[in-house]
């Protein structure tokens, strides 16, 4: 549970996930795509420049990474990729709210 999940590294990988299922939420949008194998799940974070300057974007990405690592990693389905498109509200939201929202959206497809 403590090991951080694998990350998406290439722009092509992010673009591929855009074709998958989209789940909108108050704090962020989650895109999910089943790759077709049963390898480890991966995730990535997208924060556009519209959200804020570099400090703001870094902080949002780090909070989401930490929330994924600690609370939501085990909820991801094997063989699936997830992209979290963050909104500015992630910056000020309490950490407990953030992790609850993440768990809810990640589990969304599993049923």
Contact (CB, 8 A) for 85 and 28: yes
Candidate segments 22-30, 57-65, 73-81, 102-110, binder of RNA by CB under 7 A: 57-65
Query: Does 95 sit near RNA (CB under 7 A)?
Result: yes
Interaction of residue 19 with RNA, rule CB under 7 A: no
Whichever of 95 and 110 has its CB closer to RNA, that residue is 95
10 binds RNA (CB under 7 A): yes
Give the angle 31-96-101 at the CA atoms, nearest 5°. Answer: 25
- Applying CB under 7 A, the residues found at the interface with RNA are 2-4, 7-11, 14-15, 44-46, 53-55, 58-59, 61-63, 65-66, 69-70, 95
């Amino acid at each position: 549970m403590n090991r951080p999940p694998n990350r998406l590294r290439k722009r092509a990988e992010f673009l591929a996930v855009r074709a998958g299922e989209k789940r909108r939420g108050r704090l962020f949008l989650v895109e999910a795509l089943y790759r077709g194998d049963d390898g480890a799940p991966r995730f990535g974070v997208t924060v556009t420049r519209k959200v804020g300057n570099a400090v703001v974007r870094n902080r949002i990405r780090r909070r989401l990474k930490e929330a994924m690592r600690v609370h939501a990693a085990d909820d991801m389905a094997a063989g699936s990729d997830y992209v979290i498109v963050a909104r500015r509200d992630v910056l000020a939201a309490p950490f407990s709210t953030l992790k609850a929202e993440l768990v809810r959206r990640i589990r969304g497809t599993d049923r």
